């Protein structure tokens, strides 16, 4: 008697990252999909597991992801006599 193998049709789902109310959420997607990535933008410091990230970074649901406003120091000068 022949044995039939049933192959389940699993759809590959890419991972996603989104921000809601200032909090970062991650969905890993399914195996075979593109992993989720996050990229910091100007004015925001991105920390992944306590380490600052300055470039595109792959993340997972298990990572601790924090966004903090960047501290920008402006150079000021006072000119006398004006």
pLDDT, tens only, 36-55 = 999 999 999 999 999 999 99
Beta carbons within 8 Å of 82's beta carbon, 6+ residues apart: none
**pLDDT bucket at 3, cuts 50 / 70 / 90:** low
- Average pLDDT, rounded, for the chain: 87
DSSP secondary structure letter of residue 46: E
Judged against a pLDDT cut of 70, whether residue 82 lies above it is answered with no
pLDDT tens digits for range 29-41: 998 899 999 999 9
pTM: 0.71
| Proportion of the chain above pLDDT 70, given as a percent | 84
Beta bridge partners of 57: 38
| Radius of gyration over every alpha carbon of the chain, rounded to an integer in angstroms | 22
CA dist 12 → 8, 29, 32, 49, 78 (Å):
12, 8, 6, 27, 60
Question: Rounded to whole angstroms, how far apart are CA atoms 56 and 52?
Answer: 11
> What residue ranges do the domains of the chain occupy?
27-69
């Amino acid at each position: 008697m022949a044995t039939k193998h049933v192959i389940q049709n699993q759809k590959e789902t890419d991972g996603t990252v989104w921000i809601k109310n200032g909090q970062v959420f991650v969905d890993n997607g399914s195996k075979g999909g593109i992993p989720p990535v996050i990229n910091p933008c100007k004015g925001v410091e991105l920390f992944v597991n306590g380490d600052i990230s300055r470039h595109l970074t792959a993340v997972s649901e298990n990572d601790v992801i924090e966004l903090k406003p960047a501290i920008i120091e402006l150079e000021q000068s006072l000119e006398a006599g004006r």
